[in-house]
């Protein structure tokens, strides 16, 4: 009986301590109840406009061919800084896939997650091509990246994407 009481006493103290810890966490309205306390700052639209799109542009604009009356101009990263910029943008796009999977942004747990994963896969391909300093590879994987964008847009973007490239 003595032991039993002692156990109860300690359980009570533990309970009070736990309550204290939880009170100091405060009620959280964001994030999953069990996961890390993520703080989504922007909407999906904001993430698209201010994170995804500008970095996709860096990738798409880094390699290509411009044909004018004066002749053909091949565009490719010309030095290490320019290659680094392609790498940084591809990396940001890959991690942006995770931003899209966060609570509050993900539209469902099925197709949306698959498309966000598709963005990660495509961006990793761009990273690998940039790492090899392979301009044709960046061009080709940039095409795959575009496919990953439009795949999700076809299903989840309400208005038809006309004004902007993807
Ligand atoms: C997992 C889904 C998903 C992927 C992948 C995705 N988008 Fe989006 N995107 C959306 C949705 C949904 C919208 C429409 C906004 C909304 O409904 O909240 C949107 C809107 C946009 C917009 C318009 C934003 C504005 O200001 O109105 C741009 C630009 C854009 N996306 C670019 C891209 C590019 C570039 C890629 C690929 C590199 C991409 N998106 C990949 C889901 C996605």
Q: What is the domain extent for residue 51?
A: 44-156
Angle made by CA atoms 55, 76, 65, in degrees to the nearest 5: 100
pLDDT tens-digit readout, 109-132? 999 999 999 999 999 999 999 999
Whether the predicted pLDDT of 156 surpasses 50: yes
pLDDT above 90 covers what percent of the chain?
72
pLDDT tens-digit readout, 29-72? 454 567 889 999 999 999 999 999 999 999 999 999 999 999 99
* pLDDT mean across residues, the chain: 85
| Number of structural domains in the chain | 1
- Asked if residue 38 lies in contact with residue 31, where contact means CB atoms within 8 angstroms, the answer is yes
Instruction: Point out the ligand 1 atom lying closest to the alpha carbon of residue 57.
Output: 35
Q: Is 145 exposed, middle or buried (0-12, 13-18, 19+ CB in 10 A)?
A: buried
- Asked if residue 101 lies in contact with residue 123, where contact means CB atoms within 8 angstroms, the answer is no
Residue 39 belongs to some domain of the structure: no
Tell me if 146 CB under 6 Å of ligand 1.
Answer: no
Q: DSSP letter string over 83-116?
A: HHHHHHHHHHHHHHHHHHHSTTT-S-SSHHHHHH
Over its C-alpha atoms, the chain yields an Rg (Å, rounded) of 24
Residue 88 belongs to some domain of the structure: yes
Q: Atom 26, ligand 1: which residue's CA is nearest?
A: 49
Residue 31 belongs to some domain of the structure: no
The predicted pLDDT at position 1 comes to: 42
Residue 96 belongs to some domain of the structure: yes
Residue 19 belongs to some domain of the structure: no
Q: Atom 6, ligand 1: which residue's CA is nearest?
A: 149
Phi, psi angle pair for 30, to nearest 5°: -115, 165
Q: Within 13 Å and on the Cβ side, how many CA atoms surround 44?
A: 16
Instruction: Point out the ligand 1 atom lying closest to the alpha carbon of residue 107.
Output: 12
Q: What Cα–Cα distance (Å) separates residue 124 from each residue in 9, 15, 32, 113, 121?
A: 55, 47, 27, 16, 5
Residue 164 belongs to some domain of the structure: no
The answer to which of 32-46, 76-90, 98-112 has the lowest mean pLDDT is 32-46
Higher pLDDT among residues 17 and 111, named by residue: 111
Whether the predicted pLDDT of 107 surpasses 80: yes
Q: What is the CATH number of the domain that holds 56?
A: 1.20.120
């Amino acid at each position: 009986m003595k032991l039993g009481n002692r156990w109860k006493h300690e359980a009570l103290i533990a309970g009070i301590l736990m309550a204290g810890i939880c009170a100091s966490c405060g009620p959280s309205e964001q994030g999953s109840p069990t996961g890390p306390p993520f703080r989504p700052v922007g909407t999906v639209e904001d993430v698209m406009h201010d994170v995804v799109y500008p970095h996709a542009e860096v990738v798409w604009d880094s390699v290509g061919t411009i044909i004018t009356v004066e002749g053909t101009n091949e565009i490719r990263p010309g030095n290490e800084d320019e290659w680094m910029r392609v790498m940084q943008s591809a990396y940001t796009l890959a991690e942006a896939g995770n931003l899209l999977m966060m609570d509050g942004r993900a539209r469902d747990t099925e197709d949306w997650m698959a498309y966000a994963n598709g963005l990660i896969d495509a961006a990793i391909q761009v990273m690998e091509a940039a790492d090899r300093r392979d301009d044709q590879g960046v061009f080709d994987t940039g095409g795959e990246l575009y496919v990953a964008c439009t795949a999700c847009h076809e299903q989840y973007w309400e208005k038809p994407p006309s004004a902007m490239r993807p």
